[in-house]
Structure 1
Amino acid sequence: MTSFSDLNLDPKVLKAIEATGYTTPTPIQAGAIAPALEGRDVLGIAQTGTGKTAAFTLPMITMLSKGRARARMPRSLVLAPTRELAAQVAENFDTYAKGSRLTKALLIGGVSFKEQDQLIDRGVDVLIATPGRLIDHFERGKLLLTGVQIMVVDEADRMLDMGFIPDIERIFEMTPFTRQTLFFSATMAPEIERITNKFLSNPEKIEVERQNSTSDTITQILIEHTPKRRDMTAKDKREILRAVIERDGADCRNAIIFCNRKTEVDVVAKSLKKHGYDAAPIHGDLDQSQRTRTLDGFRDGSLRFLVASDVAARGLDIPNVSHVFNFDVPSHAEDYVHRIGRTGRAGKTGLAYTISTPSDAKYLDAIQSLVKADIPRGENPWTPPGARPARDEAEEEAPRRTASRSRSRTKPRPETQATETQATQEAPRDPNPKTPARTEARDDRPESGRSRSRGGRGRQDGGPRVVGLGDHVPSFIEMSFAERRAEA
């Protein structure tokens, strides 16, 4: 079995690794560190939580141990899709670079440009940045990338999903052609192949386990629900979420709850807090200081529930997460792999619940096609108010069927109806429809039984058609009839 001491890393780096308690590299680390130290381009593909960050941080620190940075000209560049992931890379660098004189700068949004400019002016060995903030510094003339020797793109597929393709291509063009490039990602999309074919030179491809796979340490459960009304879907799902948390009890030590929209993140977090749960939201519209405090609280255990958009799904190393909830089924199948990968890390077990409705069918099909497995169905612990057990409904259905059969027996048979119809058609018609007997019968009907249809054109109860003005004749019409009779 390979150990870190077999990978030709710098002695100071090995000492820092030993201080963290790690002795054996993960498969992605064992496969990527050696070719990276040889100066080759690397394309690493592995599911989340397998140690990709250390796979490029350790060889980078070893290779940069010799040399010195110049003002505004960093020697290496690490691109990350989100502020949180960039901050996590910076933390890993601080951990493994202990004992060395290497310096770093973190360029992310939500932080003052002045403080970042001061770090760049001093000269840094490692520049860790999000694409947007990096380009902002470059356009302001505060940064030169002509001295970059090593360039790393972390979570490359997420960078592409977030629309960073033009920015990445532009940044590549700012760096020297002779640079060494390292790509690391959890999934391999066709767009990544195009980028790697364009900007990587004969890369060493390391693919750990099956592409787009999920960890065996994660128990996946799908809870299906059909709301009675579409506008009640979100409310019902919040009820199901709380019911699952209550059912799991102490086993649910903490959880990350993923929503597709930022507005839904705020609503779910507010709902949980209203019902007495310790929860806080995190998404891209929040201030960076608030996002940092929220993540720190979740890491140290002072916050139990983290309600997040996909900004927190990729690459964040948050240990000991017992549960992950997909409050919304992700619209991109790859996001499912990253979301549930927040639990069951480092060999520990975890639970991943997904709440779905009939409108999520196409997204579920895409996820199950991607991971090449069906998500096991679980029991819905929440019963809507007023809902009856299936047994009671079956018991009530039996009398309904009996009554239906009884009503069908009282209906005349078709041949009987035909005989009655024929007899009616053959009966001679009365030449004088206004006979006294028929008029008397009509006049004897109660008021409620008479026709109320417009214009006296017929009866609602199917009786004979009424011709004329009815029982009441206005007095002014009777007077005109009297004058004509007098004249005659």
Structure 2
Amino acid sequence: MANNIKNQQEILAKLNIHVLNPMQEEAVSVIETSKNTILLSPTGTGKTLAFLLPLMETLDPHLEEIQALILVPSRELAIQIEQVVRSMGSGYKVNAVYGGRPMSKDKIELKHNPAILIGTPGRILDHFMSDRFSRNHIKTLILDEYDKSLENGFEEEMKGIINELPSLNKRILTSATQGVSIPKFVQLDKPKVINYLTEKASAKLTLQTVVAPDKSKLNTLLELLQYIGNEPGIIFCNLKDSISFVSSFLERHNVNHACFSGGMEQKDRERALIKFRNGTCQILVATDLAARGIDIPEMKYIIHYELPIHEEEFTHRNGRTARVNAKGTAYLIKWEKESLPEFIKGSKKVDISKKAPQKAQFWETLFISGGRKDKISKGDIAGLFFKQGGLNKDQLGVIELKQDCTFVAVPLSIANELVDKLNNTRLKKKKVRISVL
């Protein structure tokens, strides 16, 4: 049974959101009154909250069964949505399951049914086939970034899952891509379509071309970063090998950064995002995996180190900046003998000879071996660093609380000192290890 159920206004107050954006307002209204909805909106416009708010209204607090299923194409998106649901403090239990983590963890967490289950299609179907919980009470199905799930080859798994849901009466599909066909097995009958993809972000997005004299473009990339200064941004590459190439170059030039690609271990990808979110790393070198479906902060720029091959990739990469009401710049690094793809229009050459002031890295990330399952809260973590660590409020950065561990941003200058002081401290009766990530 759910506890302390909050209504929409209470949830928004907890999230410190005073007004929904127009897309969210329309989506909430349509989803509440429609059986089938397709929500099309650019990356970073708040689609997750737009479907979660009306979803909460459909849940029965007295029913101890899974009532809503959210299918996502990636582990990162599953984790992100789970975090959003938890931050809402709705009173409903939520769990995310996905490939790449031990099945034993899933079994422990699913001993008590969540009201909302989030997962990648393969892992969800595994649970279905093992009959780990009843599907009879799942009335709402959300296919978030459904086109990406189809693109990733999950069609058969999705079909198998939907065929196992006898009580569905509401379907919500979301995407940041226009014109993707919906398979018949989704059984989407006369859906209401909310389309905000037609509202171009071009007025807020500036395209600038940087011409590189050599084919590797690395020195030009470094000059561009020096021109931009210490601002968070993403350097997009087409290939995993390119990321290694760029990363090695940046390391040689002492440019602090993190990497993010499908070739990395799940744990390493998560930690790269944590360090990027909390400011330990200002730069993320990434493949198109980072173009959508991950929770990263607003940024003023992205860099196309390698030019995108398809227009869709170009659109999604650019969607990481100039989000909602903000302005942003997409830089295209072009070898002087290279031509821009036909779909890239309106980009102007920029002179990057002027250097912006460079600031030294301020934050470092600490790992703590205790999390939610140990009944540890963010308040407990803050108390530890304030009381025993001697920090003031300005010295405590972002705290990310996970199921079995926590990550905390602290000033780089005192990170090792804090480890020496706080390692093996007791938090909620648990002795926790603390180390620099």
TM-score by length of 2: 0.74
Residue among 191, 204, 214 paired with 1:203: 191
What are the Cα deviations for residues 440-470 of structure 1, in whole angstroms up to 9, with x where unaligned? Answer: xxxxxxxxxxxxxxxxxxxxxxxxxxxxxxx
Corresponding position: 1:30 with 2:21: no
What are the Cα deviations for residues 99-118 of structure 1, in whole angstroms up to 9, with x where unaligned? Answer: 52x11111122221111112
- Structure 1 residue identity aligned to 2:44: G
Report the RMSD for the aligned CA atoms in angstroms.
2.4
Matches of 1:109 and 1:353 in 2, distance apart? Answer: 35
- Structure 2 residue identity aligned to 1:378: K
Matches of 1:215 and 1:40 in 2, distance apart? Answer: 33
| Structure 2 residue aligned with 1:451 | none
- Structure 2 residue identity aligned to 1:240: T
Matches of 1:214 and 1:114 in 2, distance apart? Answer: 44
Give secondary structure in 2 for the equivalent of 1:352. Answer: strand
Corresponding position: 1:364 with 2:341: yes
- Structure 2 residue identity aligned to 1:356: K
Residue among 214, 225, 228 paired with 2:201: 214
8 Å Cα contact 1:322/1:344 also seen in 2:
yes
| Structure 1 residue aligned with 2:220 | 240
Corresponding position: 1:53 with 2:41: no
- Structure 2 residue identity aligned to 1:217: K
Matches of 2:126 and 2:12 in 1, distance apart? Answer: 35
Most deviating of 15-24 and 214-223 = 214-223
Post-superposition offset of 1:247 = 1.8
| Structure 2 residue aligned with 1:42 | 37
8 Å Cα contact 1:316/1:342 also seen in 2:
no
Post-superposition offset of 1:154 = 1.0
Corresponding position: 1:77 with 2:64: no
What are the Cα deviations for residues 293-337 of structure 1, in whole angstroms up to 9, with x where unaligned? Answer: 211111111111111112221133322322211112222311211
Matches of 2:245 and 2:64 in 1, distance apart? Answer: 47
TM-score by length of 1: 0.66
Query: Relative to structure 1, is the Cα distance of residues 196 and 181 closer, same or farther in structure 2, using a 3 angstrom cutoff?
Result: farther
Post-superposition offset of 1:364 = 1.8
| Structure 1 residue aligned with 2:182 | 194
- Structure number with bigger Rg: 1
Matches of 1:28 and 1:197 in 2, distance apart? Answer: 27
| Structure 1 residue aligned with 2:268 | 290
The runs of at least 4 consecutive aligned structure 1 residues that moved more than 6 Å come to none
Residue among 319, 332, 348 paired with 1:377: 348
Percent of aligned pairs with the same residue? 27
- Structure 1 residue identity aligned to 2:86: D
Matches of 2:105 and 2:38 in 1, distance apart? Answer: 34
What are the Cα deviations for residues 229-269 of structure 1, in whole angstroms up to 9, with x where unaligned? Answer: xxxx3x2x2221111111223xx411111111112122212
Pairwise mapping of residues 471-486 of structure 1 onto structure 2 (< 5 A)? none
Post-superposition offset of 1:215 = 4.7
Residue among 166, 169, 172 paired with 1:179: 169
| Structure 1 residue aligned with 2:414 | none
Query: Relative to structure 1, is the Cα distance of residues 157 and 223 closer, same or farther in structure 2, using a 3 angstrom cutoff?
Result: farther
Matches of 1:103 and 1:337 in 2, distance apart? Answer: 35
Matches of 2:168 and 2:72 in 1, distance apart? Answer: 21
| Structure 1 residue aligned with 2:332 | 354
Post-superposition offset of 1:39 = 4.5
Corresponding position: 1:129 with 2:124: no
What are the Cα deviations for residues 396-430 of structure 1, in whole angstroms up to 9, with x where unaligned? Answer: xxxxxxxxxxxxxxxxxxxxxxxxxxxxxxxxxxx
What are the Cα deviations for residues 346-374 of structure 1, in whole angstroms up to 9, with x where unaligned? Answer: 4222221122348975x721x34xxxxx1
Give secondary structure in 1 for the equivalent of 2:137. Answer: coil
Query: Relative to structure 1, is the Cα distance of residues 28 and 346 closer, same or farther in structure 2, using a 3 angstrom cutoff?
Result: closer
| Contiguous gaps of at least 5 residues in structure 2 | 354-437
Higher strand share: 2
Most deviating of 255-264 and 159-168 = 159-168
Matches of 1:308 and 1:171 in 2, distance apart? Answer: 31
- Structure 1 residue identity aligned to 2:224: V
Residue among 91, 114, 124 paired with 2:83: 91
Higher helix share: 1
Matches of 1:49 and 1:134 in 2, distance apart? Answer: 26
8 Å Cα contact 1:41/1:202 also seen in 2:
yes
Pairwise mapping of residues 320-399 of structure 1 onto structure 2 (< 5 A)? 320-357=298-335, 361=339, 364-365=341-342, 367-368=343-344, 374-379=345-350, 381=352
8 Å Cα contact 1:324/1:353 also seen in 2:
yes
| Structure 1 residue aligned with 2:149 | 159
Post-superposition offset of 1:222 = 2.5
Post-superposition offset of 1:53 = 0.5
- Structure 1 residue identity aligned to 2:234: I
Number of residue pairs matched?
Answer: 349
Give secondary structure in 1 for the equivalent of 2:183. Answer: helix
Matches of 2:98 and 2:85 in 1, distance apart? Answer: 16
